[in-house]
């Protein structure tokens, strides 16, 4: 989903910074887009580490001068266990990345937008359908994504009058490497997931990328505090 958003933004002439813990894939994506004439750079960042997030935003400002939009899209797979079987370490690690990492990103992105005098900043956070409903065997993941929804709404309320919009995507099952890994370990997972989406299929990364880019754009100028379901109807039933 992150890669899709990067490609779409670059194709629409945005200056883009890719941030990831995967040096190889991040650098390859940036190089591929630069060869096509895009203004794209890669900066390694672990969003669970506050100093790295602060450095990421500062390096972005050093390179491009201002920050107008950010897509906070990082997570780790759930343990797939009943809640009482989730270890404290598993719970903390999920919270570190999905919640604390999102907080760090918003904290420094918002500061950069305010200090830079940006008139129409936009932040999009990736939550999940698991952020608005309960999903069995996903306890720590559900808790973390509900927290992302809450952070999104609070930030929208705090900064709307200062020109910063903050929204969240609510994806259903999307064919990403993370989900594919889970399906490889459980042959029954794919047909089950298809069956619980009224649209009858998974989402594709580009469908989520398009939604993120729209929320980042001025076309969504009256949209803030929204949790936009892009979930094939999963949360409708």
The model's confidence at residue 207, banded by pLDDT at 50, 70 and 90, is very high
Alpha carbon 172 to its chain's center = 13
Q: Return the closest-CA partner of residue 9 out of 218, 216, 164.
A: 216
Is CATH 3.50.50.60 what the domain over 60-236 is classified as, yes or no? no
pLDDT at 192: 84
Distance in angstroms (rounded) separating the CA atoms of residues 121 and 32 = 27
Cβ pair 171, 125 in contact under 8 A: no
Distance in angstroms (rounded) separating the CA atoms of residues 165 and 72 = 14
**Residue 67: helix, strand or coil by DSSP?**
coil
Q: Is 192 a catalytic residue?
A: no
Catalytic residue among 108, 141, 159, 192: 141
pLDDT digits (tens, 9 = 90+) for 3-60: 999 999 999 999 999 999 999 999 999 999 999 999 999 999 999 999 999 999 999 9
**Domain boundaries along the sequence of the chain:** 60-236
Reported as type and span, the H/E element at residue 124 is: strand 121-126
Residues of the chain with pLDDT > 90: what percent?
86
Q: Return the closest-CA partner of residue 81 out of 14, 5, 142.
A: 142
pLDDT of residue 185 exceeding 90: no
**Residue 59 vs residues 15, 39, 69, 108, 157: alpha-carbon distances, Å:** 13, 15, 15, 12, 28
Distance in angstroms (rounded) separating the CA atoms of residues 101 and 105 = 6
Q: Return the closest-CA partner of residue 169 out of 229, 209, 119.
A: 229
Distance in angstroms (rounded) separating the CA atoms of residues 154 and 156 = 5
Question: For residues 6 and 183, which has the higher predicted lDDT (pLDDT)?
Answer: 6
The predicted model gives 176-180 an average pLDDT of 81
DSSP 12-34: TT--EEEEES-HHHHHHHHHHHH
The predicted model gives 131-144 an average pLDDT of 94
Where helices occur in the chain by DSSP H, the ranges are 2-11, 23-35, 50-64, 88-94, 101-115, 139-159, 177-185, 189-195, 205-216
pLDDT of residue 189 exceeding 90: no
Strands 16-20 and 121-126: unpaired
pLDDT digits (tens, 9 = 90+) for 51-107: 999 999 999 999 999 999 999 999 888 888 999 999 999 999 999 999 999 999 999
């Amino acid at each position: 989903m992150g890669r899709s958003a990067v490609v779409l933004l670059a194709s629409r002439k945005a200056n883009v910074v890719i941030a990831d813990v995967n040096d190889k894939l991040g650098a390859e994506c940036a190089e591929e887009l630069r060869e096509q004439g895009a203004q794209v750079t890669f900066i390694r960042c672990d969003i669970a580490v506050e100093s790295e997030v602060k450095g990421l935003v500062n390096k972005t400002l050093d390179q491009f001068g201002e920050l107008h939009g950010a897509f906070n899209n990082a997570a780790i797979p759930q343990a797939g266990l009943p809640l009482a079987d989730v270890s404290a370490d598993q719970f903390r690690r999920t919270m570190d990345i999905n919640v604390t990492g999102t907080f760090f990103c918003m904290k420094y992105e918002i500061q950069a937008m305010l200090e830079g005098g940006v008139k129409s900043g936009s932040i999009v956070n990736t939550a999940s359908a698991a952020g608005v409903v309960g999903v069995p065997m996903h306890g720590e993941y559900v808790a973390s994504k509900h927290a992302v929804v809450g952070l999104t709404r609070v930030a929208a309320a705090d900064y709307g009058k200062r020109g910063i919009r903050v929204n969240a995507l609510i994806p259903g099952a999307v064919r990403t490497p993370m989900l594919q890994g889970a399906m490889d370990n459980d042959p029954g997972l794919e047909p089950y997931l298809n069956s619980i989406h009224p649209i009858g299929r998974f989402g594709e990364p580009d469908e989520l990328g398009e939604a993120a880019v729209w929320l980042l754009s001025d076309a969504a100028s009256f949209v803030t505090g929204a949790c936009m379901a892009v979930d094939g109807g999963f949360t409708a039933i």
